[in-house]
Amino acid sequence: MPFPSAYASGLVEVLEAEVDVPVHDQSRWHRYGGEPRDLLPIWGHQAQWDIRQHLDLHRIWATLWETDRLGVSLDSCRFTPPWQPGFAEPYGIHWDHDPWNAELRMFQGVLALTDTAANQGGFRCVPSLYHDRAAWPREPIAFYVMMGPFPPDGALRQAQIDSWRTGRCVPWWRSRPGYDRAEPWPPATLTKLGRRLLGLDEWPLEDER
């Protein structure tokens, strides 16, 4: 999906200014050539929320789930410079969640913040794999932007609200390097859609929309 470039470039500027990511300084790219050094410890900035609560982005997941009543995951960003000798080996083709779990139904997305040539970039997709899912090898792995109904027990919803209020990462990511801290900026300003995606406000019933 084409996405307004101002949102992407705005987040790139934040990554450069707040997390010192050398997007335009190739002499420092080697610092991000290992694993998991390309994962960036930033999850609650206003620039990220401006993207999460964009109406067009929500519309994609609403179409997939056939409902507007969704929550959004508080994912971080990844900076993956072109591979060169000495870097960690690139990820192979993998899935992030068990594709045999019919109850999980996770729909993930990746938003590229910078443009690349058709044969470059940090994401690879092989649609033909879905034609013969039973033939895949079984192994676990990774993460990005995701929307779906909140689980009924409310724990995930409350953990993300607490993360938004305090600036601390959700508990299950705090073992990652740089994630066990509070972000220095105030909580992001949320639109009506953003408040519902986070879980601060309830979605109206389908027949009330």
Question: What is the per-residue pLDDT across 29-38, written as a single tens digit (0 to 9) for each?
Answer: 877 766 655 5
Query: Domain ranges in the chain?
Result: 5-114+122-201
pLDDT higher than 90, residue 85: no
pTM to 2 decimals?
Answer: 0.75
Residues 6+ apart with CB under 8 A from 89: none
| Contact assessment for residue 32 and residue 79, using Cβ atoms and an 8 Å cutoff | yes
pLDDT bucket at 102, cuts 50 / 70 / 90: low
Mark residue 121 as left, alpha or beta (left: phi above 0; alpha: psi -120 to 50; beta: remaining): left
Residue 145, H or E segment: strand 145-148
pLDDT higher than 60, residue 209: no
117 to 62, 112, 120, 122: CA distances (angstroms): 30, 12, 5, 11
Question: What is the per-residue pLDDT across 118-170, written as a single tens digit (0 to 9) for each?
Answer: 776 666 676 776 666 666 554 332 235 678 887 777 888 899 999 999 999 88
Distance CA 58, CA 53 (A): 7
Distance CA 15, CA 33 (A): 17
